[in-house]
Amino acid sequence: FMEQRPVRNIAVARQLIEERSKSAHSAYAEVSALQSLLSRLQPMFIALFIALLIGGGTSFAAENALPGDTLYPIKVSMNEEVGSFLAFSEEAQARFDTRRAERRLEEAEQLTVKGRLDSETSAAIESRFAAHAKAFEEDAQAIAAKHNSQAAFEVHSNFEASLGAHERILAQLALEKTQVRAVLEPLLLSV
């Protein structure tokens, strides 16, 4: 019975063994080719990782920079521009422009408290603030043009509330620190 009905056909078994050895050989060749490619690309991956680590660390450190600091240009030219690029809707862009305007006023407040605010820095802050306020106004008009009056009202209310709070802080600082009152007045008028 076993001779008439063998479990395995020897010819089929040999063919399977040959195919397995060929596929194992080709798999080995593919793995070695992949290892060769990875070994050549490894320095590039390491360099990319280091660049991302340094760039990300620098970007993170720049977030608290003030005008006059070394990392301040990275904060306003890179970090904030990336944030602006990532604000996809008009509402998101208006909120982001509100935040940028707030940041300029916060910088003026911090510099005043630290005694580092001079007329040149104040003028630069005022110029950036005016640009952010103008961008906000354009965003708000775009929102209103889409007949979304509720959203337009909301972004305007938030912007005005923020400006009111910062105006009070700057006015208080101008009263307390009389030596910078003349420097703060143009910024206060702009607010």
Q: List, for residues 68-91, the tens digit of each pLDDT value.
A: 999 999 999 888 888 888 888 889
What does the DSSP 8-state code read for residue 179?
A: G
Contact between residue 123 and residue 131 where contact means Cβ atoms under 8 Å apart: no
Environment class of residue 80 by beta-carbon count within 10 Å: exposed (0-12), middle (13-18) or buried (19+)?
buried
Write out pLDDT tens, residues 157-184. Answer: 999 999 999 999 999 998 888 888 888 8
Question: Which residues in the chain belong to E strands, given as ranges?
Answer: none
Write out pLDDT tens, residues 113-160. Answer: 998 999 999 999 999 999 999 999 999 888 888 877 888 889 999 999
Q: Is the pLDDT of residue 31 over 80?
A: no
- 3-class SS letters over 76-107: HHHHHHHHHHCCCCHHHHHHHHHHHHHHHHHH
